Amino acid sequence: MTEIIDGNDVAQDIRNGLLDGIETLTDAGTTPCLATVLMNDDPASETYVSMKHKDCEEVGIATRDIELDPETPAEELFDTIDELNADPEVHGILVQMPLPDHVDEREVLRSIDPAKDVDGFHPENVGRLVAGNARYKPCTPHGVQKLLAAADVETEGAEAVVVGRSNIVGKPMANLLIQKDEGGNATTTVCHSRTEDLAEKTRAADIVIAAAGVPEMITGEMLSEGTVVIDVGINRVETDEGSELVGDVDYDSAKEKASAITPVPGGVGPMTRAMLLWNTVKSASDVAEIDVDLP
Ligand SMILES: NC(=O)C1=CN([C@@H]2O[C@H](COP(=O)(O)OP(=O)(O)OC[C@H]3O[C@@H](n4cnc5c(N)ncnc54)[C@H](OP(=O)(O)O)[C@@H]3O)[C@@H](O)[C@H]2O)C=CC1
Ligand SMILES: Nc1nc(=O)c2c([nH]1)NC[C@@H]1CN(c3ccc(C(=O)N[C@@H](CCC(=O)O)C(=O)O)cc3)C=[N+]21
Protein backbone atom coordinates (compact mmCIF):
# COMPACT_ATOMS: atom_id res chain seq x y z
CA MET A 1 0.00 0.00 0.00
CA THR A 2 1.23 3.45 -0.86
CA GLU A 3 1.15 5.89 2.02
CA ILE A 4 -0.37 9.24 1.11
CA ILE A 5 1.47 11.80 3.22
CA ASP A 6 -1.13 14.38 4.28
CA GLY A 7 0.55 17.79 4.41
CA ASN A 8 -2.54 19.45 5.84
CA ASP A 9 -2.47 17.06 8.80
CA VAL A 10 1.24 17.42 9.47
CA ALA A 11 0.98 21.20 9.13
CA GLN A 12 -1.88 21.22 11.64
CA ASP A 13 0.31 19.23 14.07
CA ILE A 14 3.08 21.81 13.65
CA ARG A 15 0.67 24.68 14.30
CA ASN A 16 -0.70 22.92 17.39
CA GLY A 17 2.85 22.30 18.56
CA LEU A 18 3.58 26.02 18.40
CA LEU A 19 0.67 27.07 20.60
CA ASP A 20 2.36 26.67 24.00
CA GLY A 21 5.44 28.58 22.90
CA ILE A 22 3.33 31.41 21.47
CA GLU A 23 1.38 31.62 24.73
CA THR A 24 4.56 31.67 26.83
CA LEU A 25 6.04 34.44 24.71
CA THR A 26 2.82 36.44 24.65
CA ASP A 27 2.45 36.18 28.44
CA ALA A 28 5.98 37.50 28.75
CA GLY A 29 5.05 40.51 26.60
CA THR A 30 6.49 39.38 23.26
CA THR A 31 3.67 38.38 20.93
CA PRO A 32 5.31 36.89 17.83
CA CYS A 33 4.54 39.05 14.78
CA LEU A 34 4.94 38.40 11.07
CA ALA A 35 4.92 41.20 8.49
CA THR A 36 4.19 40.40 4.87
CA VAL A 37 4.93 42.69 1.95
CA LEU A 38 3.07 42.00 -1.27
CA MET A 39 4.09 43.92 -4.38
CA ASN A 40 2.51 42.05 -7.23
CA ASP A 41 -0.96 41.69 -8.74
CA ASP A 42 -0.79 37.92 -9.13
CA PRO A 43 -4.01 36.43 -7.71
CA ALA A 44 -2.10 33.29 -6.57
CA SER A 45 0.31 35.43 -4.52
CA GLU A 46 -2.62 37.27 -2.95
CA THR A 47 -4.18 33.93 -2.03
CA TYR A 48 -0.95 32.61 -0.47
CA VAL A 49 -0.40 35.79 1.54
CA SER A 50 -3.96 35.76 2.86
CA MET A 51 -3.57 32.07 3.80
CA LYS A 52 -0.42 32.99 5.75
CA HIS A 53 -2.38 35.64 7.65
CA LYS A 54 -5.18 33.21 8.41
CA ASP A 55 -2.64 30.67 9.74
CA CYS A 56 -1.12 33.34 12.00
CA GLU A 57 -4.52 34.33 13.33
CA GLU A 58 -5.32 30.70 14.14
CA VAL A 59 -2.30 30.32 16.42
CA GLY A 60 -2.15 33.82 17.92
CA ILE A 61 0.71 35.27 15.90
CA ALA A 62 0.18 38.98 15.19
CA THR A 63 0.49 40.22 11.61
CA ARG A 64 1.22 43.30 9.56
CA ASP A 65 -0.13 43.32 6.05
CA ILE A 66 1.60 45.66 3.64
CA GLU A 67 0.53 45.91 0.01
CA LEU A 68 2.39 48.06 -2.45
CA ASP A 69 1.25 48.83 -5.96
CA PRO A 70 3.57 47.01 -8.43
CA GLU A 71 4.38 50.42 -9.97
CA THR A 72 5.73 51.73 -6.65
CA PRO A 73 9.33 52.99 -6.93
CA ALA A 74 11.86 50.55 -5.45
CA GLU A 75 12.92 53.21 -2.91
CA GLU A 76 9.53 53.03 -1.26
CA LEU A 77 9.85 49.26 -0.84
CA PHE A 78 13.27 49.73 0.76
CA ASP A 79 11.84 52.40 3.10
CA THR A 80 9.08 49.98 4.08
CA ILE A 81 11.60 47.22 4.80
CA ASP A 82 13.74 49.65 6.84
CA GLU A 83 10.72 50.55 8.97
CA LEU A 84 9.92 46.89 9.59
CA ASN A 85 13.59 46.19 10.39
CA ALA A 86 13.51 48.98 12.98
CA ASP A 87 10.15 47.99 14.50
CA PRO A 88 10.80 46.03 17.71
CA GLU A 89 7.30 44.52 17.58
CA VAL A 90 7.98 42.79 14.23
CA HIS A 91 9.85 39.46 14.38
CA GLY A 92 9.50 38.16 10.85
CA ILE A 93 9.48 39.88 7.46
CA LEU A 94 8.35 38.10 4.32
CA VAL A 95 8.55 39.91 1.00
CA GLN A 96 6.43 37.82 -1.35
CA MET A 97 8.14 36.77 -4.59
CA PRO A 98 8.07 37.44 -7.47
CA LEU A 99 8.83 41.16 -7.43
CA PRO A 100 8.26 43.53 -10.36
CA ASP A 101 11.09 43.79 -12.93
CA HIS A 102 12.23 47.24 -11.77
CA VAL A 103 13.04 45.86 -8.30
CA ASP A 104 16.35 44.05 -7.78
CA GLU A 105 15.43 40.89 -5.88
CA ARG A 106 18.93 40.31 -4.51
CA GLU A 107 19.06 43.84 -3.14
CA VAL A 108 15.71 43.29 -1.43
CA LEU A 109 16.87 40.06 0.19
CA ARG A 110 20.03 41.79 1.42
CA SER A 111 18.03 44.69 2.87
CA ILE A 112 16.01 42.54 5.29
CA ASP A 113 17.48 42.29 8.80
CA PRO A 114 18.91 38.72 8.82
CA ALA A 115 17.43 38.23 12.31
CA LYS A 116 13.95 38.84 10.85
CA ASP A 117 14.51 36.96 7.59
CA VAL A 118 12.05 34.14 8.30
CA ASP A 119 12.26 32.96 4.66
CA GLY A 120 15.98 32.29 5.22
CA PHE A 121 16.92 33.92 1.91
CA HIS A 122 19.36 36.61 3.16
CA PRO A 123 22.95 35.81 2.08
CA GLU A 124 24.06 35.66 5.71
CA ASN A 125 21.41 33.06 6.46
CA VAL A 126 22.17 31.13 3.28
CA GLY A 127 25.81 31.06 4.34
CA ARG A 128 24.96 29.87 7.81
CA LEU A 129 22.77 27.10 6.40
CA VAL A 130 25.54 25.88 4.11
CA ALA A 131 28.03 26.04 6.98
CA GLY A 132 25.81 23.80 9.10
CA ASN A 133 24.83 26.56 11.51
CA ALA A 134 21.38 27.51 10.22
CA ARG A 135 19.47 30.36 11.88
CA TYR A 136 16.32 29.85 9.80
CA LYS A 137 15.87 26.84 7.59
CA PRO A 138 14.03 27.95 4.43
CA CYS A 139 10.35 27.08 4.87
CA THR A 140 9.74 24.73 1.94
CA PRO A 141 12.78 22.44 2.44
CA HIS A 142 12.26 22.53 6.21
CA GLY A 143 8.65 21.51 5.63
CA VAL A 144 9.79 18.63 3.43
CA GLN A 145 12.07 17.44 6.24
CA LYS A 146 9.12 17.48 8.64
CA LEU A 147 6.96 15.55 6.16
CA LEU A 148 9.65 12.89 5.78
CA ALA A 149 9.99 12.62 9.55
CA ALA A 150 6.21 12.39 9.99
CA ALA A 151 6.13 9.50 7.50
CA ASP A 152 9.04 7.80 9.33
CA VAL A 153 11.27 8.05 6.28
CA GLU A 154 14.92 7.59 7.26
CA THR A 155 17.15 10.01 5.34
CA GLU A 156 20.42 8.78 6.85
CA GLY A 157 22.24 6.70 4.27
CA ALA A 158 19.41 7.09 1.75
CA GLU A 159 19.96 8.01 -1.89
CA ALA A 160 18.09 11.28 -2.37
CA VAL A 161 17.50 12.99 -5.70
CA VAL A 162 16.42 16.64 -5.78
CA VAL A 163 15.07 17.78 -9.14
CA GLY A 164 15.66 21.54 -9.34
CA ARG A 165 18.46 23.84 -8.15
CA SER A 166 16.69 27.12 -7.36
CA ASN A 167 17.83 29.25 -4.43
CA ILE A 168 14.46 28.93 -2.71
CA VAL A 169 13.85 25.20 -3.03
CA GLY A 170 16.38 22.94 -4.77
CA LYS A 171 19.65 24.24 -3.32
CA PRO A 172 18.53 24.61 0.31
CA MET A 173 16.77 21.23 0.08
CA ALA A 174 19.98 19.55 -1.01
CA ASN A 175 21.86 21.39 1.72
CA LEU A 176 19.54 20.13 4.43
CA LEU A 177 19.72 16.59 3.08
CA ILE A 178 23.52 16.52 3.28
CA GLN A 179 23.78 18.06 6.74
CA LYS A 180 25.32 15.91 9.44
CA ASP A 181 22.09 16.19 11.32
CA GLU A 182 18.67 14.68 11.88
CA GLY A 183 16.76 14.71 8.59
CA GLY A 184 20.08 14.82 6.76
CA ASN A 185 22.94 12.39 6.15
CA ALA A 186 21.47 11.45 2.77
CA THR A 187 23.64 10.85 -0.27
CA THR A 188 22.21 13.60 -2.41
CA THR A 189 22.14 14.21 -6.15
CA VAL A 190 20.89 17.53 -7.51
CA CYS A 191 19.38 17.41 -11.01
CA HIS A 192 18.41 20.30 -13.28
CA SER A 193 17.55 21.13 -16.87
CA ARG A 194 21.04 20.14 -18.10
CA THR A 195 21.00 16.74 -16.43
CA GLU A 196 21.71 14.19 -19.15
CA ASP A 197 19.60 11.26 -18.03
CA LEU A 198 17.16 12.28 -15.33
CA ALA A 199 15.28 8.97 -15.28
CA GLU A 200 18.51 7.11 -14.62
CA LYS A 201 19.03 9.30 -11.52
CA THR A 202 15.47 9.07 -10.23
CA ARG A 203 15.35 5.29 -10.72
CA ALA A 204 18.39 4.96 -8.47
CA ALA A 205 16.81 7.04 -5.69
CA ASP A 206 15.20 6.04 -2.42
CA ILE A 207 13.74 9.54 -2.08
CA VAL A 208 12.79 11.83 -4.99
CA ILE A 209 12.02 15.49 -4.31
CA ALA A 210 10.54 17.18 -7.35
CA ALA A 211 10.92 20.97 -7.57
CA ALA A 212 11.26 21.76 -11.26
CA GLY A 213 8.09 23.73 -11.98
CA VAL A 214 7.24 21.40 -14.88
CA PRO A 215 3.73 19.90 -14.62
CA GLU A 216 3.70 16.13 -14.03
CA MET A 217 7.18 15.55 -15.43
CA ILE A 218 8.13 12.79 -12.96
CA THR A 219 6.24 9.69 -14.07
CA GLY A 220 5.98 6.25 -12.50
CA GLU A 221 8.14 4.93 -15.29
CA MET A 222 11.02 7.04 -13.92
CA LEU A 223 10.76 5.52 -10.42
CA SER A 224 11.76 2.26 -8.80
CA GLU A 225 9.40 0.27 -6.64
CA GLY A 226 9.24 1.64 -3.07
CA THR A 227 10.55 5.14 -3.70
CA VAL A 228 9.40 7.98 -1.44
CA VAL A 229 8.12 10.82 -3.63
CA ILE A 230 7.81 14.41 -2.41
CA ASP A 231 6.16 16.77 -4.86
CA VAL A 232 7.04 20.43 -4.28
CA GLY A 233 5.66 21.61 -7.63
CA ILE A 234 2.60 23.82 -7.79
CA ASN A 235 1.47 24.41 -11.34
CA ARG A 236 -1.84 25.82 -12.47
CA VAL A 237 -2.86 24.14 -15.71
CA GLU A 238 -5.90 24.68 -17.89
CA THR A 239 -8.05 21.64 -18.56
CA ASP A 240 -11.42 21.11 -20.24
CA GLU A 241 -13.03 21.47 -16.82
CA GLY A 242 -11.26 24.76 -16.08
CA SER A 243 -8.05 25.45 -14.24
CA GLU A 244 -6.49 22.83 -12.01
CA LEU A 245 -3.51 22.60 -9.64
CA VAL A 246 -0.97 19.87 -10.40
CA GLY A 247 2.48 19.05 -9.10
CA ASP A 248 5.72 18.19 -10.86
CA VAL A 249 4.86 14.52 -10.34
CA ASP A 250 2.42 12.53 -12.43
CA TYR A 251 0.54 11.45 -9.34
CA ASP A 252 -1.42 8.49 -10.70
CA SER A 253 1.50 6.68 -12.32
CA ALA A 254 3.96 7.60 -9.54
CA LYS A 255 1.59 6.30 -6.88
CA GLU A 256 1.79 2.84 -8.44
CA LYS A 257 5.52 2.72 -7.67
CA ALA A 258 5.92 4.86 -4.56
CA SER A 259 5.92 3.57 -0.99
CA ALA A 260 4.85 7.06 0.10
CA ILE A 261 3.86 10.15 -1.86
CA THR A 262 2.63 13.71 -1.25
CA PRO A 263 -0.41 15.05 -3.11
CA VAL A 264 -0.82 18.48 -4.70
CA PRO A 265 -2.59 20.36 -3.29
CA GLY A 266 -2.40 19.23 0.34
CA GLY A 267 1.24 18.17 0.42
CA VAL A 268 4.25 20.48 0.68
CA GLY A 269 2.30 23.76 0.27
CA PRO A 270 0.67 23.77 3.71
CA MET A 271 4.02 22.79 5.25
CA THR A 272 5.73 25.84 3.73
CA ARG A 273 3.18 27.99 5.53
CA ALA A 274 3.52 26.09 8.81
CA MET A 275 7.31 26.43 8.84
CA LEU A 276 6.98 30.17 8.28
CA LEU A 277 5.09 30.33 11.58
CA TRP A 278 7.77 28.13 13.13
CA ASN A 279 10.53 30.53 12.08
CA THR A 280 8.52 33.53 13.31
CA VAL A 281 8.12 31.96 16.76
CA LYS A 282 11.83 31.13 16.81
CA SER A 283 12.64 34.75 16.01
CA ALA A 284 10.40 36.05 18.79
CA SER A 285 11.91 33.54 21.21
CA ASP A 286 15.42 34.73 20.31
CA VAL A 287 14.43 38.37 20.82
CA ALA A 288 12.71 37.68 24.14
CA GLU A 289 15.60 35.44 25.20
CA ILE A 290 13.03 32.88 26.31
CA ASP A 291 13.54 29.31 25.19
CA VAL A 292 10.35 27.65 23.99
CA ASP A 293 9.83 24.13 22.69
CA LEU A 294 9.48 24.07 18.93
CA PRO A 295 7.70 21.12 17.22
N1 LIG B 1 4.98 23.96 -2.28
C2 LIG B 1 5.54 25.12 -2.02
O3 LIG B 1 5.43 25.61 -0.94
C4 LIG B 1 6.34 25.80 -3.06
C5 LIG B 1 6.23 25.35 -4.35
N6 LIG B 1 6.98 25.90 -5.34
C7 LIG B 1 6.85 25.27 -6.66
O8 LIG B 1 7.97 24.42 -6.85
C9 LIG B 1 8.36 24.42 -8.21
C10 LIG B 1 9.80 24.87 -8.32
O11 LIG B 1 9.91 26.19 -7.84
P12 LIG B 1 11.27 27.02 -7.95
O13 LIG B 1 12.37 26.23 -7.39
O14 LIG B 1 10.99 28.37 -7.46
O15 LIG B 1 11.41 27.07 -9.56
P16 LIG B 1 12.55 27.62 -10.52
O17 LIG B 1 11.90 27.82 -11.83
O18 LIG B 1 13.27 28.74 -9.88
O19 LIG B 1 13.58 26.41 -10.63
C20 LIG B 1 13.26 25.25 -11.30
C21 LIG B 1 14.44 24.31 -11.33
O22 LIG B 1 14.06 23.12 -11.99
C23 LIG B 1 14.96 22.85 -13.05
N24 LIG B 1 14.27 22.27 -14.19
C25 LIG B 1 13.40 22.87 -15.03
N26 LIG B 1 12.99 22.02 -15.98
C27 LIG B 1 13.60 20.85 -15.73
C28 LIG B 1 13.59 19.60 -16.38
N29 LIG B 1 12.85 19.37 -17.46
N30 LIG B 1 14.35 18.61 -15.87
C31 LIG B 1 15.11 18.81 -14.76
N32 LIG B 1 15.15 19.98 -14.11
C33 LIG B 1 14.41 20.99 -14.60
C34 LIG B 1 15.59 24.17 -13.42
O35 LIG B 1 16.85 23.92 -13.99
P36 LIG B 1 17.86 25.11 -14.45
O37 LIG B 1 18.46 25.62 -13.18
O38 LIG B 1 18.82 24.42 -15.32
O39 LIG B 1 17.00 26.11 -15.14
C40 LIG B 1 15.64 24.88 -12.07
O41 LIG B 1 16.82 24.53 -11.38
C42 LIG B 1 7.36 25.31 -8.91
O43 LIG B 1 6.29 24.52 -9.40
C44 LIG B 1 6.85 26.21 -7.81
O45 LIG B 1 5.55 26.71 -8.06
C46 LIG B 1 7.89 26.89 -5.06
C47 LIG B 1 8.03 27.37 -3.79
C48 LIG B 1 7.23 26.90 -2.69
N1 LIG C 1 9.14 35.33 -0.07
C2 LIG C 1 8.45 34.25 -0.47
N3 LIG C 1 8.40 33.16 0.32
C4 LIG C 1 7.69 32.06 -0.07
O5 LIG C 1 7.65 31.04 0.67
C6 LIG C 1 7.02 32.08 -1.32
C7 LIG C 1 7.12 33.24 -2.11
N8 LIG C 1 7.85 34.31 -1.66
N9 LIG C 1 6.50 33.29 -3.31
C10 LIG C 1 5.68 32.21 -3.81
C11 LIG C 1 6.09 30.87 -3.25
C12 LIG C 1 5.01 29.83 -3.32
N13 LIG C 1 4.68 29.51 -1.96
C14 LIG C 1 3.62 28.70 -1.55
C15 LIG C 1 3.24 28.61 -0.23
C16 LIG C 1 2.14 27.87 0.15
C17 LIG C 1 1.39 27.20 -0.78
C18 LIG C 1 0.18 26.48 -0.36
O19 LIG C 1 -0.24 26.62 0.76
N20 LIG C 1 -0.44 25.62 -1.18
C21 LIG C 1 -1.63 24.88 -0.80
C22 LIG C 1 -2.89 25.48 -1.40
C23 LIG C 1 -2.79 25.72 -2.88
C24 LIG C 1 -4.01 26.42 -3.46
O25 LIG C 1 -5.11 25.98 -3.16
O26 LIG C 1 -3.80 27.38 -4.23
C27 LIG C 1 -1.46 23.42 -1.17
O28 LIG C 1 -0.54 23.10 -1.94
O29 LIG C 1 -2.24 22.61 -0.70
C30 LIG C 1 1.76 27.27 -2.09
C31 LIG C 1 2.88 28.01 -2.47
C32 LIG C 1 5.45 30.25 -1.12
N33 LIG C 1 6.29 31.02 -1.79
Give pLDDT tens digits for 128-180. 999 999 999 999 999 999 999 999 999 999 999 999 999 999 999 999 999 99
- In-domain check, residue 130: no
- In-domain check, residue 52: yes
ipTM for this model: 0.98
Angle between helices 7-27 and 139-150 (to 10 degrees): 110
Q: Are residues 143 and 258 in the same domain?
A: yes
pLDDT confidence bin for 247, thresholds 50/70/90: very high
- In-domain check, residue 211: yes
* Best residue for ligand 1 mutational test, from 51, 208, 232, 277 (most atoms within 8 Å of Cβ): 232
Span 232-259, average pLDDT: 96
Q: Are residues 145 and 241 in the same domain?
A: yes
Residue 263 CB less than 6 A away from ligand 1: no
Q: What is the CA radius of gyration of the chain?
A: 19
Q: Is 165 annotated as a binding residue?
A: yes
- In-domain check, residue 95: yes
CA nearest ligand 2 atom 24, residue? 265
pLDDT confidence bin for 1, thresholds 50/70/90: confident
pLDDT, position 14: 98
> Mean pLDDT, the chain, as a whole number?
97
Q: Are residues 164 and 79 in the same domain?
A: no
Q: Are residues 111 and 143 in the same domain?
A: no
CATH assignment at residue 148? 3.40.50.720
Q: Which ligand is nearest the CA of 92, by number?
A: 2
pLDDT, position 94: 98
pLDDT greater than 90 at residue 114: yes
Q: Are residues 115 and 201 in the same domain?
A: no
- In-domain check, residue 5: no
Q: Are residues 144 and 93 in the same domain?
A: no
Q: Is 234 annotated as a binding residue?
A: yes
pLDDT, position 227: 98
pLDDT, position 105: 97
* Best residue for ligand 2 mutational test, from 235, 272, 278 (most atoms within 8 Å of Cβ): 272
Span 221-245, average pLDDT: 96
4-8, 43-47, 190-194, 289-293: range with lowest mean pLDDT: 43-47
- In-domain check, residue 191: yes
pLDDT, position 89: 98
pLDDT greater than 90 at residue 225: yes
Q: Are residues 233 and 177 in the same domain?
A: yes
The three-state secondary structure class of 38 is strand
pLDDT greater than 90 at residue 119: yes
- In-domain check, residue 181: yes
Q: Are residues 147 and 250 in the same domain?
A: yes
CA nearest ligand 2 atom 30, residue? 269
**What percent of the chain lies above the pLDDT cut of 90?**
98
pLDDT, position 268: 98
pLDDT, position 285: 98
Q: Are residues 156 and 190 in the same domain?
A: yes
Residue 191 CB less than 6 A away from ligand 1: yes
Cα-to-centroid distance, 259 and ligand 1 (Å):
24
pTM score above 0.80: yes
Q: Choose the catalytic residue: 55, 117, 119, 248.
A: 119
CA nearest ligand 2 atom 31, residue? 269
Element (H, E) at 62: strand 62-67
Residue 188 contacts residue 160 (beta carbons within 8 Å): yes
Residue 194 CB less than 6 A away from ligand 1: yes
Q: Are residues 160 and 95 in the same domain?
A: no
pLDDT, position 209: 98
Distance CA 263, CA 141 (A): 16
84-113 as b/e, with b when 16 or more CB fall inside 10 Å? bbeeeebbbbbbbeebbeebeeeebbebbb
CA distances to 34, 62, 64, 67, 153 from 87, in Å: 11, 13, 11, 18, 41
Q: Which ligand is nearest the CA of 51, by number?
A: 2
Q: Are residues 104 and 30 in the same domain?
A: yes
Domain range holding 162? 139-266
- Single out the residue in 67, 87, 119 at which a domain terminates: 119
Domains in the chain: how many in total? 2
Give pLDDT tens digits for 248-294. 999 999 999 999 999 999 999 999 999 999 999 999 999 999 999 99
pLDDT greater than 90 at residue 210: yes
- In-domain check, residue 287: no
Active-site residue 179, yes or no? no
Q: Are residues 147 and 210 in the same domain?
A: yes
**What percent of the chain lies above the pLDDT cut of 70?**
100
CATH assignment at residue 114? 3.40.50.10860
Active-site residue 137, yes or no? no
Active-site residue 257, yes or no? no
pLDDT greater than 90 at residue 95: yes
Residue 202 CB less than 6 A away from ligand 1: no
